[in-house]
């Protein structure tokens, strides 16, 4: 499951898609501030003004980066606690029938009606179902035999019946 949550550079605050552009801005304005600092020693006031503006922009980007980093670390803490909770269970079981599906994790059982599922996402690495209540159910491909994974995909597609709520994305394994 860790590969699902930490895919595409989400395993580090420096490579996360939400913090990376802001970090780039911090680096650019920091370098610009250093260069303009040396030019500000000349007798021209323009260099001092440009240096001051670069420092202000750098501080703004730094504050925005710290905000985004805080959001990232809260997300990562939540994912880690969720993954730790999942690792407690040794065996998972999925029971499907015409009206509901039942997910059994050790001593915990969740039953969801198919009519409450509003969105299904099919990726090469997992299947995700989202219910009206906001619950998300993730079925990793590597935890299911390939033939059973394909059968599960087809079963879910048939149960959904409404093409407007099915989203299919195929990711290349790079």
101 and 75, same domain (yes or no): no
- For residue 173, the model assigns a pLDDT of 32
C-alpha 120/C-alpha 165 separation (Å) is: 7
C-alpha 87/C-alpha 82 separation (Å) is: 9
Residue 39 lies in domain:
2-87
72 and 106, same domain (yes or no): no
- For residue 3, the model assigns a pLDDT of 66
- Full-model pTM: 0.62
In the three-class reduction of DSSP (H, G, I as helix; E, B as strand; rest coil), residue 174 is classed as coil
C-alpha 116/C-alpha 132 separation (Å) is: 6
Which residue, of 46, 65, 87, is where some domain finishes?
87
82 and 116, same domain (yes or no): no
52 and 72, same domain (yes or no): yes
Which residue, of 57, 87, 117, is where some domain finishes?
87
Alpha helix positions (H), the chain: 2-5, 20-39, 45-87, 146-160
C-alpha 70/C-alpha 34 separation (Å) is: 27
Question: Does any domain span residue 174?
Answer: no
- For residue 2, the model assigns a pLDDT of 67
Q: What is the mean pLDDT of each run of 10 residues along the chain (174 residues)?
A: 68 86 94 92 90 95 95 90 73 81 80 85 85 84 84 85 44 32
100 and 55, same domain (yes or no): no
- For residue 62, the model assigns a pLDDT of 96
- For residue 135, the model assigns a pLDDT of 83
C-alpha 151/C-alpha 145 separation (Å) is: 10
Question: Does any domain span residue 69?
Answer: yes
59 and 82, same domain (yes or no): yes
Question: Does any domain span residue 128?
Answer: yes
C-alpha 20/C-alpha 5 separation (Å) is: 17
- For residue 150, the model assigns a pLDDT of 87
Q: Is 136 exposed, middle or buried (0-12, 13-18, 19+ CB in 10 A)?
A: exposed
53 and 119, same domain (yes or no): no
The CA dihedral of 62, 64, 70, 73, to the nearest 10 degrees, is -80
- For residue 172, the model assigns a pLDDT of 31
Query: What's the total number of domains in the chain?
Result: 2
Q: What are the beta bridge partners of residue 126?
A: 140
Q: Is 164 exposed, middle or buried (0-12, 13-18, 19+ CB in 10 A)?
A: exposed
Which residue, of 67, 87, 107, is where some domain finishes?
87
């Amino acid at each position: 499951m860790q590969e699902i949550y930490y895919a595409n550079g989400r395993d580090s605050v420096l490579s996360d898609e939400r913090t990376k552009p802001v970090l780039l801005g911090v680096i650019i304005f920091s370098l610009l501030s250093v260069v303009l600092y040396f030019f500000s020693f000349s007798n021209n006031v323009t260099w001092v003004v440009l240096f001051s503006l670069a420092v202000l922009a750098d501080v703004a980007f730094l504050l925005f980066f710290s905000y985004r980093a805080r959001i990232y670390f809260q997300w990562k803490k939540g994912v880690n606690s969720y993954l730790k909770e999942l690792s407690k269970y040794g065996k998972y079981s999925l029971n499907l029938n015409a009206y509901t599906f039942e997910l059994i994790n050790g001593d915990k059982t969740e039953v969801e009606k198919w009519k409450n599922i509003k969105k299904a996402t099919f990726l090469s690495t997992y299947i995700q179902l989202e219910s009206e209540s906001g619950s998300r159910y993730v079925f990793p491909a590597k935890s299911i035999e390939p033939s059973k994974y394909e059968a599960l995909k087809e079963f879910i597609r048939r149960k959904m019946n409404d093409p407007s709520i099915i989203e299919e994305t195929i990711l290349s394994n790079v």
